[in-house]
Amino acid sequence: MGEPRDEFAEAGARERRALVRVVEADGELADPAWRDAFAEVPRHLFVPYYYVPGTGGYERLWSGDPDPARRDQWLRGAYEDTAIATRVRDGDLVSSASQPSLMALMLRALDVRDGHHVLEIGAGTGYHAALLCHRLGEEHVTTVDLDEEIAESARTHLAAAGYRPAVIAADGARGCPERAPYDRIVATCAVPSVPYPWLAQCAAGALVLTPLSTGLLLLRVDDVTHAEGRFLETSAYFVALRGVAGRVPRHGPAGDERFRFFWGLVDRVLDRNEALSLWLREGRPERERFGVTVGGDRQWAWLDDPEGPYAWPLAGA
C-alpha cells in the first residue's frame, strides 16, 4: 500500500523553496545535507492544523478548510520561519512547533555524522525527527514523548511523509535505554538540569544539546556521570520537559534578555540583587561565557571557567 496522496505537494514544494532561501540567509544551511532535508521534508504534513491569534483568542487554520483562501493561508503559514501554535487548551497555548531557522541552528550544532544514532526528547509534531531521518536514515532515529497522544500524532505525521523511526511514548527524562547507546541526544523541551539517564545512554564522546533556562546547552559526554560544555549564543524558549511550566525568570532589567537567562540559572541560589550585582560587575556577560559541568552526583553552572570563582549548583541536580 502506497503513501497517502498529498494534494498540496506541488504548492508545498514551492513554499519549501522559499523557506530554504530564508533559512539560508541566516547562514544555518551551509551543510548541503541539511539544506536537502529542509528542501525535501514536507513541513505541512506535520501541521495539518494549527492556531493563529484571532479576535478574542486563537483561531484554527487547517488543511481541510472548505474556503480555498484559508487553505492557502494555512499552507503559507506552515512554511513561514516562525514557531507555530499546534495545541491550545482552554484558550491557552500548550504546544508549538519550533521556528525552522532555530531547528537548523540546533541541527548544525549537533554535528551529526553518517551512522550516528540520535535520541530526540520531545516528539512534537514529528518534523524535527523527519529532518534527522532524512539526514541519517530512520533506523538511526529514536524520538520519545511522555504524552501518548502527541507520540501517536507524530508517528502518523512521520508515516505520511514516508518516515518510520522509533516513536516511543515514555518519560523523556529516562531516555530510551532499550535503543542505546546514542551518539547524539537532542531535547526540544527545557530542563532545569541534565537528566543522568541521558548520559548513561551515551557513547563516549557523544554530544547532548538541550534547552536550559532560556539558552541552548551543548555538552560533550566523557562517561556516564561526567560531561561538560557551554551555551550557544542564541536565546531559546521551549516548553518544559513533562509539560510543567518552564523556569522562566520573572524579574530582570527591562528588555535585557541576557539577565533573564542568567537569573534562570541562579535564581535558586542567589537573590535577585546579588545576581544583578554580579552580572553587572562582570560586564553583562553573554550566554556563551556560561557553561555547565556534570561531575559524579553534582551539576553546576559556571561563568568563564568550570573551576573558577563563579559557580552555582543547578536546580534538581
Residues with a catalytic annotation lie at 95
> Which residues are 221's β-sheet partners?
227
> Which residues are 79's β-sheet partners?
none
- Residue 34: alpha-carbon gap to chain centroid: 16
Q: How many residues would you count in the chain?
A: 317
- Residue 246: alpha-carbon gap to chain centroid: 14
Q: Map grid coordinates 561563568 to a residue.
A: 303
| DSSP structure class, residue 200 | H
Q: For the CA atoms of 22, 27, 31, 33, what is the dihedral angle to 10 degrees? A: -20
- Residue 278: alpha-carbon gap to chain centroid: 30
Helices 100-110 and 32-40 sit at what angle, rounded to 10 degrees? Answer: 140
Q: Map grid coordinates 553587572 to a residue.
A: 280
Cβ atoms of residues 291 and 301 within 8 Å: yes
